[in-house]
Amino acid sequence: MACVADRQAAVREVAQVYELIKLQQPLLLLHSSSSHLAQSLLGKALRALNVALSVMNQQQPPPPPPAVAPVTVVVVKAEPHLSPPSPASADSEATAPPARRGAKRTRRSAAPVGGKKNSSSWATLTAVPYDDGYEWRKYGEKKINGTLFTRSYFRCTYKDDAGCLATKHVQQMDSDDNSSPPMFHVTYHNDHTCSSAKAAAKANTGSSSNNNSHLAALLADCCDGSGCNKGLTTTTINGHAAAAAAAMNMNMKQEPSLLPPPPPLAEPPSACFPYDQMPQQCHQLLFPVSMEQQFPGNGEEIPSAAGSCISGETSWDGYYYSGDMAAAEDDRFHDLERFLLGDSFMDYQY
DNA sequence: GCAATTTGACCATA
DNA sequence: TATGGTCAAATTGC
């Protein structure tokens, strides 16, 4: 089918542009006189490409499920009003006053609930509900009628600091199949108006010793546990480790009842951390970096923990570059394509 | 001691 | 009135 070939070519083109931007992003941000502007533009570009790929993906049958059950993130639906918010709309919402802890309880004055507001909302189906690159604080849990599991309510950790109104609800889906990892229906409301840079700066300044210790543990788990810093050419992270890393990323305690250890993977899903499994702190705290750090160019595996985390910018960065470059390139692309097509509408921030 | 989570109560909406 | 979403005091963990 010519149209299929054309679409694949288009997808490939967009994916390559996406990849190129991501690769060049550190340098652009590092050398730009206005890093904020650069970051904003890059974010918009990446988001647009992501949406474009999502649209393309909707026009073709879904890809066959993987042989193993890696951590997956798929779009449940993209209703007209359930589209990912644009940065512009996010900016317009940033003026809402932040809620204050301990303030006198005045109900329903600022944040109407249940989708009545004009803000955007969208939903995803994922095995890793806590790993979406943002930091969330749990503020409630509720037993919902007709469901076996409770629904958890999260809001952005930086709601108070940045007035970020982003919230999400995580509902474990009922399933008869005990052999497969649990899936979660995650509904997002409002775009993040807090910047990841702000979050990263906060973490980097050591304003909270908790953050630093948290990061240390995170890096240890992220890079040591997965073997990324042990000179392995390819590494793996099973669902359990991903969930653990995700939970750490969330600054929250893992709920045993929600995430039982899934069966080990028969095959490594991809090199190093797939993007949707990589703790966001790896992006934020070790960024920006030089291209030399990302790509030594001497055929060596990126040795350091920092390098391996940085390499997680894309899912293919754990590969051995001195080997068959064409094969590696091909694998890299397919990993990227899987990531892009399977992770549509996720709101990535760098 | 501080920050995050838990949990029961409160409130808006259908 | 049932239900879902949020608040905030109490609890827990670092």
pLDDT of residue A153: 94
pLDDT of residue A83: 39
Strand A184-189, strand A121-126: pairing: antiparallel
pLDDT at A303 over 60: no
Residue A348 lies in a domain: no
Residue A103 lies in a domain: no
Q: Over range A79-105, report the average pLDDT.
A: 36
A142 closest-nt by C1' vs CA: C4
pLDDT tens per residue, range A37-80: 556 666 666 665 565 555 555 444 333 333 333 344 454 443 33
Residue A106 lies in a domain: no
Q: Over range A214-233, report the average pLDDT.
A: 33
Chain A residues 110-149, Cβ below 7 A from strand B: 112-114, 116, 137-142
Say how many domains are in chain A. Answer: 1
Is the CB of residue A142 inside 7 Å of nucleic acid strand C?
yes
Residue A147 lies in a domain: yes
Domain enclosing residue A324, as ranges: 2-97+112-342
Residue A240 lies in a domain: yes
Residue A107 lies in a domain: no
Q: A189 pairs with which residues across the strands?
A: A121, A167
Q: Name, of A68-72, A165-169, A221-225, the range with top average pLDDT.
A: A165-169
Residue A172 lies in a domain: yes
Residue A41 lies in a domain: yes
Is the CB of residue A333 inside 7 Å of nucleic acid strand C?
no
What pLDDT band is residue A121 in, cutting at 50, 70 and 90? Answer: confident
Query: Which bases on strand C have an atom closer than 7 Å to a protein beta carbon?
Result: 2-9, 13-14
Q: Residue A266, by phi and psi: left (phi above 0), alpha (psi -120 to 50) or beta?
A: alpha
- Pick from A182, A149, A155, A181: nearest CA to A168: A155
> What stretch of H or E contains A316?
none
Rounded to whole angstroms, the distance from the CA of residue A113 to the C1' of nucleotide B12 is 8
Is the CB of residue A116 inside 7 Å of nucleic acid strand C?
no
